[in-house]
Amino acid sequence: MTSLSDAIHSGALRGNVLASACPSRDILKHVTSRWGVLVLIALQGGTKRFAELRRMVGGVSDRMLAQTLQTLEEDGFVRRHDHGEVPPRVDYTLTPMGEEVAEHVRALADWIEGNLPRILKPENSRAETA
Amino acid sequence: MTSLSDAIHSGALRGNVLASACPSRDILKHVTSRWGVLVLIALQGGTKRFAELRRMVGGVSDRMLAQTLQTLEEDGFVRRHDHGEVPPRVDYTLTPMGEEVAEHVRALADWIEGNLPRILKPENSRAETA
DNA sequence: CAGTATCCGAAACGATACTG
DNA sequence: CAGTATCGTTTCGGATACTG
């Protein structure tokens, strides 16, 4: 058959993420970072303000939230809108591109959530915490 | 309409990944870790030996490869088979569950690779390295 | 409210050396 | 070949204090 999907799945036409030099690794790193994942998912609900995100994403600090948002903005996944008011009012939205990655990230997270029982079944001695 | 998909997409029925206590976060961490992602993708090509993986996954060290494989094995995503020969011969395969996560992980990585031009377009001053 | 600056401990990671 | 042990570095990330 030697179809395209065969080739892709066999790895023949797979991109070069596996190669060290690939710039995809940087983007991947941002998107799969601890807070990156959660912020992208949180923003799928629509535009959110800083404090809203901080409340949604459990455990995130101001510092990390700001940093994560900046990185995602630089990558073009998030648009920041400062209303220039006092007190400050800033909100964050996924760009069209951001919606696309977020969709993939969410699919992954959803799969994990949905299969947690299967994963956590003590078929193996899962003793670790991290 | 208030359909299920509406509810899901709006976040109403989204799981609790966003909550700090959610155990999904640990699994997510393993799967989206720097080397976890790449190992899962590499193993999609079929069963691989340790040295093969080390060659495929550019830049990975023995230490990190071993560690990553152990974590993925504990999570039930990878099955390790030691042939008990001398010299040692050990190979790694995705479990059915592993194939499922790997599919999502690969979809994400593929999207990034495929959209790199769009992402890297210097609409914004991307000056950073990491 | 929406951040930034600074400090510091914890965790990830790489290099090297060693083993069955 | 397939790892482990140890060490040192670098990065991550939390706490606290401060600002427009």
DSSP string, B30-68: HHTSHHHHHHHHHHTTS-EEHHHHHHHSTT--HHHHHHH
Distance CA A99, CA A118 (A): 29
Contact list in B for residue A101 (CB cut-off 8 A) is 108, 111-112
Looking at residue B46, its pLDDT comes to 96
Which pLDDT belongs to residue A52?
A: 96
Q: Which CATH class is domain A25-129?
A: mainly alpha
A residues 82..121 contacting B (CB < 8 A): 97, 100-101, 104-105, 107-116, 118-121
pLDDT at B126: 55
pLDDT at position B11: 52
pLDDT > 90 fraction of chain A, expressed in percent and rounded: 74
Phi-psi region of A121 (alpha: psi -120 to 50; beta: other; left: phi over 0): beta
Question: Does the pLDDT of residue B88 top 70, yes or no?
Answer: yes
8 Å CB contact between B80 and B73: yes
Give the position of tokens 């609409």.
B123
Question: Residue ranges of chain A with pLDDT lower than 70?
Answer: 1-15, 122-130
> What is the chain B residue with the closest CA to A123?
B76
Q: Answer for the pair A47, A91: CB distance below 8 angstroms, yes or no.
A: yes
With H, G, I as helix, E, B as strand and everything else as coil, classify residue B82.
strand
Number of A/B CB contacts below 8 angstroms equals 156
Strands in B78-82's sheet, in edge-to-edge order, are B48-49, B90-94, B78-82
Instruction: Name residue, tokens 């999907």.
Output: A5
- Which residues pair with residue B100 across a beta bridge? none
- Minimum mean pLDDT among A20-24, B6-10, B56-60: which range? B6-10
User: In terms of Cα–Cα distance, which of B35, B37, B73, B71 is closest to B54?
Assistant: B35
| Cβ <8 Å between B101 and A111 | yes
pLDDT of residue A71: 96
CA distance A87 to chain B (A): 27
Asked if B101 and A112 touch (Cβ cutoff 8 Å), the reply is yes
